[in-house]
Amino acid sequence: MAPPSADEVVPLVGKNIMFSHPANVIQFHIALWLLLAIAAILILFMYFFYNSFGRDDPILYSQINVTSQQKNK
Protein backbone atom coordinates (compact mmCIF):
# COMPACT_ATOMS: atom_id res chain seq x y z
CA MET A 1 0.00 0.00 0.00
CA ALA A 2 1.35 3.45 -0.94
CA PRO A 3 1.95 6.07 1.77
CA PRO A 4 -0.62 8.88 1.95
CA SER A 5 0.06 12.01 -0.03
CA ALA A 6 0.71 15.35 1.64
CA ASP A 7 -2.84 16.52 0.90
CA GLU A 8 -4.24 13.62 2.90
CA VAL A 9 -1.91 14.18 5.86
CA VAL A 10 -2.04 17.97 6.29
CA PRO A 11 -5.48 19.24 7.26
CA LEU A 12 -6.96 21.59 4.69
CA VAL A 13 -7.67 24.30 7.28
CA GLY A 14 -4.10 24.27 8.60
CA LYS A 15 -2.59 24.32 5.14
CA ASN A 16 -4.67 27.20 3.80
CA ILE A 17 -5.20 29.25 6.96
CA MET A 18 -3.28 32.24 5.61
CA PHE A 19 -5.36 32.23 2.45
CA SER A 20 -8.74 31.64 4.09
CA HIS A 21 -8.98 35.21 5.47
CA PRO A 22 -8.43 38.59 3.81
CA ALA A 23 -5.12 40.28 4.57
CA ASN A 24 -6.73 43.06 6.59
CA VAL A 25 -8.38 40.54 8.93
CA ILE A 26 -5.05 38.83 9.57
CA GLN A 27 -3.32 42.18 10.12
CA PHE A 28 -6.07 43.24 12.51
CA HIS A 29 -5.69 40.09 14.60
CA ILE A 30 -1.91 40.40 14.71
CA ALA A 31 -2.17 44.05 15.75
CA LEU A 32 -4.83 43.24 18.32
CA TRP A 33 -2.77 40.51 19.99
CA LEU A 34 0.36 42.67 19.94
CA LEU A 35 -1.49 45.56 21.58
CA LEU A 36 -2.97 43.24 24.19
CA ALA A 37 0.48 41.84 24.94
CA ILE A 38 1.98 45.33 25.25
CA ALA A 39 -0.88 46.43 27.52
CA ALA A 40 -0.45 43.37 29.73
CA ILE A 41 3.30 43.96 30.01
CA LEU A 42 2.71 47.63 30.85
CA ILE A 43 0.12 46.79 33.51
CA LEU A 44 2.39 44.17 35.07
CA PHE A 45 5.33 46.59 35.06
CA MET A 46 3.23 49.31 36.71
CA TYR A 47 1.93 46.85 39.32
CA PHE A 48 5.38 45.58 40.29
CA PHE A 49 6.88 49.07 40.13
CA TYR A 50 4.18 50.40 42.47
CA ASN A 51 4.63 47.48 44.87
CA SER A 52 8.40 47.87 44.89
CA PHE A 53 8.06 50.98 47.05
CA GLY A 54 6.39 49.05 49.86
CA ARG A 55 4.01 50.46 52.39
CA ASP A 56 6.41 50.21 55.33
CA ASP A 57 9.34 52.09 53.83
CA PRO A 58 10.96 53.91 56.79
CA ILE A 59 12.70 56.52 54.62
CA LEU A 60 9.48 57.39 52.82
CA TYR A 61 7.52 57.65 56.06
CA SER A 62 10.24 59.69 57.76
CA GLN A 63 10.05 62.22 54.93
CA ILE A 64 6.26 62.31 55.15
CA ASN A 65 6.37 62.77 58.93
CA VAL A 66 8.94 65.57 58.69
CA THR A 67 6.93 67.50 56.13
CA SER A 68 3.68 66.98 58.03
CA GLN A 69 5.27 68.14 61.30
CA GLN A 70 6.65 71.23 59.61
CA LYS A 71 3.21 72.09 58.27
CA ASN A 72 1.62 71.63 61.70
CA LYS A 73 3.98 74.14 63.40
| Residue numbers of the chain with a pLDDT score lower than 70 | 1-2, 4-19, 54-73
Instruction: Say if pTM beats, i.e. exceeds, 0.75.
Output: no
Using the 8-state DSSP alphabet, how is residue 10 labeled?
S
- Tell me whether residue 1 is in a domain: no
Domain limits at 37? 6-72
Question: Can you say whether residue 22 is alpha, beta or left, with left for phi > 0 and alpha for psi between -120 and 50 degrees?
Answer: beta
- Tell me whether residue 23 is in a domain: yes
Q: Please give the pLDDT value at position 59.
A: 63
Total domains present in the chain: 1
Strand residue runs (E) in the chain? none
- Tell me whether residue 50 is in a domain: yes
